[in-house]
């Protein structure tokens, strides 16, 4: 095969159009040599598994699972080399590391090779992405050729930490739905799921030492509408909305993820965001009282610059020794369930206004010589770090754990931009980059008139600019990064997918692909190919990338002018001011500002590409445009 490949292959840079016509892999591989011709998978094709490692056979068998569902046939698995075969084998290549792979597609056979089974798994994901989009169908597909382009790929990830965080506290997702998310992640070579298991709206993991955490803490009152603006539940409204994972559920999820080379990082968010815990065990608070699990009604006052105060104390009390006994038992059970080396302690957005009033806190400050509330939290973080360490785990927390001094062994997850990560790295701490301006995929991704309202926006093009390594930072201390999926405004799985994809493609590429290979213009055709794959699978995604950024200004004479910023190459924006619905026969924006007619009441906009509607019809009341001009 090597001799054949050497005569067939010629190097093609990934940015070249010819490569993009056939190689639509996300994330973009490190090296690609594109040949001519194809390999066709038929029922006569076999799978060759070399060696005796059972993991190799398990990975190879995953190809059969896909083919059986869609093509209606399975391939025979053999151990002897043969032609018309797909070979899976382990090798010794130091340049590939633990997760890298080589994929060679020739006329007569295909070879997937790697140092470790994880590499074979990622090679398989790339192989599947070379097949027609119909491979993602949930039902049998007939009258199609399952062809792979002749190509040679060498691929190695840029970062070892490639994550997505799922918040299951604000809205609960079932075990099956979490498994679906893991499947989606694995297809795009993510290898870590950060599991945000506790918050003010629900405690989602069974802790046998404290049963009320789930009998009480996992349930609130169902509300629909705008989170944080919900009405306060009445005393007689049923608290039956939510759920939790039993310890057996967790074990099943951990195994399911591990089979797909995904680790799960558990997060127990303390000392703030702890209303569900305090509602279950009120003695954990510094403020005596009766508490209920929050249902999404507002109980925090937000001020300029990200400052906030709590109307109800939602914190654990750093001055209460019972809190550390509680956390010791909680982290003991969590550590036993999750084999991953880290446990996340949260540490973010801790309102301290109730601590300031607490006599217990004042006594703690005098005893421990703590100057302010930041040092009180740092004291708490230090105690938690020792507890986590005693369970054989490393501790990681949001960048607020830097405030008041950071304990030596802690890793930092930088979410408030990159500042906290830079600070932590310069102190010698390991960092995971999750800056909200690039990777918070719960943010609106298109015009605010079109998207479910969230307080900030993040378009796909901005997400694609994410680089986990800031200038001036030792890259060895940046473990990687992740997308964060906060679910205050996400109620179900279909909408979650809509929010994650395609921005999840961009983050996958930033975390896997060489920085030099990142190219917006070659990224978009691959995204469009994967839209076809999502269509075949019946999965929802956002078309927002096709929709223009609408800019409004007022000229010196008082007239209003509109411009459209189009981010995707080849998209034409058609518009109307006469209340009719535009299509591709209507006027097209050509880069010159549009004058808003004096008596117009609406601007309607739609995007086309190659005479096909690709964006949704956007309807702007003229009053809204004028408001934006201000």
What's the full length of the chain, in residues?
A: 630
The Cα–Cα gap between 130 and 147 comes to 8
Catalytic status, residue 328: no
Q: How far is CA 326 from the centre of its chain?
A: 31
Q: How far is CA 543 from the centre of its chain?
A: 18
H-helix segments, 296-416? 321-337, 359-368, 373-390
State the DSSP string of 269-311.
EESSS-HHHHHH-GGGSSS-S------SB--EEE-GGG-EEES
CA distances from 116 to 49, 93, 508, 606 (A): 14, 10, 21, 48
Q: What is the largest CA-CA distance in the chain?
A: 81
416: helix, strand or coil: coil
The Cα–Cα gap between 550 and 605 comes to 10
Catalytic status, residue 530: no
CB 463 within 8 A of CB 484: no
Is 514 exposed, middle or buried (CB count within 10 Å of its CB: 0-12, 13-18, 19+)? middle
CB 552 within 8 A of CB 629: yes
Q: What single DSSP character describes residue 440?
A: B
Question: What is the sign of the dihedral through the CA atoms of 612, 619, 542 and 493?
Answer: negative
Q: Could you say which of 111, 136, 155, 199 is catalytic?
A: 199
Catalytic status, residue 349: yes
The Cα–Cα gap between 560 and 551 comes to 11
Q: Could you say which of 111, 152, 349, 399 is catalytic?
A: 349
R_g (Cα) of the chain, nearest Å: 27
Q: At what angle do helices 54-70 and 117-130 cross, to 10 degrees?
A: 20
The phi and psi torsions of 278 (rounded to 5 degrees) equal -70, -35
The Cα–Cα gap between 582 and 606 comes to 7
Q: Could you say which of 273, 344, 530, 574 is catalytic?
A: 273
CB 501 within 8 A of CB 541: yes
So which residues are the catalytic ones? 199, 273, 349
């Amino acid at each position: 095969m090597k001799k054949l490949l050497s005569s067939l292959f010629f190097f093609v840079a990934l940015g070249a159009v010819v490569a993009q016509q056939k190689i639509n892999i996300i994330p973009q591989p490190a090296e690609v040599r594109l040949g001519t011709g194809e390999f066709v998978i038929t029922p006569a094709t076999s799978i060759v598994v070399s060696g005796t490692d059972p993991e190799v056979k398990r990975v190879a068998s995953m190809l059969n699972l896909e083919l059986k569902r869609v093509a209606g046939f399975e391939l025979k698995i053999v151990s002897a080399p043969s032609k018309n075969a797909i070979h899976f084998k382990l090798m010794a290549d130091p340049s590939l590391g633990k997760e890298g792979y080589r994929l060679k597609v020739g006329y007569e056979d295909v070879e997937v090779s790697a140092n470790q089974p994880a590499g074979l798994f990622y090679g398989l994901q790339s192989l599947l992405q070379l097949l027609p989009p119909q491979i993602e169908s949930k039902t049998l597909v007939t009258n199609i050729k399952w062809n792979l382009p002749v190509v040679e790929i060498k691929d190695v990830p840029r970062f070892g930490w490639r994550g997505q965080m799922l918040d299951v506290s604000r809205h609960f997702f079932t075990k099956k739905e979490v498994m679906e998310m893991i499947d989606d992640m694995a297809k795009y070579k993510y290898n870590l799921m950060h599991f945000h298991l506790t918050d003010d709206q629900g405690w989602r993991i069974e802790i046998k030492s404290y049963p009320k955490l789930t009998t009480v803490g996992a349930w609130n009152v169902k509300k629909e509408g705008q989170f944080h603006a919900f009405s306060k539940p009445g005393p007689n409204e049923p608290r039956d909305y939510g759920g939790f994972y039993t310890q057996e559920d967790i074990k099943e999820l951990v195994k399911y993820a591990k089979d797909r080379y995904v680790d799960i990082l558990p997060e127990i968010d303390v000392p703030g965001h702890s209303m569900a815990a305090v509602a279950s065990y009120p003695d954990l608070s510094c403020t005596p009282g009766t508490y209920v699990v929050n249902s999404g009604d507002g109980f925090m006052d937000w001020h300029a610059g990200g400052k906030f105060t709590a109307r109800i104390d939602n914190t654990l009390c750093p001055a209460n020794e019972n809190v550390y006994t509680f956390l010791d038992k909680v982290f003991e059970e969590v550590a036993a369930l999750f084999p991953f080396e880290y446990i996340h302690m949260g540490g973010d957005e801790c309102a301290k206004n109730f601590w300031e009033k607490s006599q217990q806190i004042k006594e703690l400050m005098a005893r421990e010589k703590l100057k302010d509330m930041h040092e009180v939290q740092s004291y708490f973080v230090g105690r938690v770090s020792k507890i986590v360490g005693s369970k054989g785990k490393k501790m990681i927390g949001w960048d607020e754990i830097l405030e008041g001094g950071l304990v030596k062994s802690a890793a930092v997850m930088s979410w408030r931009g990159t500042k906290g990560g830079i600070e932590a790295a310069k102190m010698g701490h390991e960092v995971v980059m999750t800056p909200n301006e690039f990777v918070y995929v719960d943010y609106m991704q298109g015009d605010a008139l079109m998207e479910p309202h969230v307080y900030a926006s993040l378009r796909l093009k901005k997400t694609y600019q994410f680089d986990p390594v800031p200038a001036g930072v030792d890259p060895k201390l940046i473990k990687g990064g992740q997308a964060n999926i906060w679910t205050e405004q996400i109620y179900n799985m279909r909408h979650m997918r809509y929010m994650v994809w395609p921005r999840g493609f961009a983050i996958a590429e930033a975390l896997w692909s060489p920085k030099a290979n990142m190219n917006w213009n070659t990224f978009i055709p691959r995204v469009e190919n994967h839209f076809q794959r999502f269509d075949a699978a019946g999965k929802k995604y956002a078309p927002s990338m096709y929709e223009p950024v609408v800019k409004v200004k007022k000229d010196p004479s008082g007239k209003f002018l509109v411009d459209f910023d189009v981010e995707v190459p080849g998209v034409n924006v058609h518009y109307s001011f006469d209340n009719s619905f535009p299509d591709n026969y209507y006027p097209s924006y050509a880069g010159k500002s549009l004058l808003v007619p004096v008596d117009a009441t609406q601007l309607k906009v739609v995007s086309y590409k190659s005479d096909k509607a690709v964006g949704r019809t956007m309807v702007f009341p003229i009053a809204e445009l004028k408001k934006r001009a201000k």
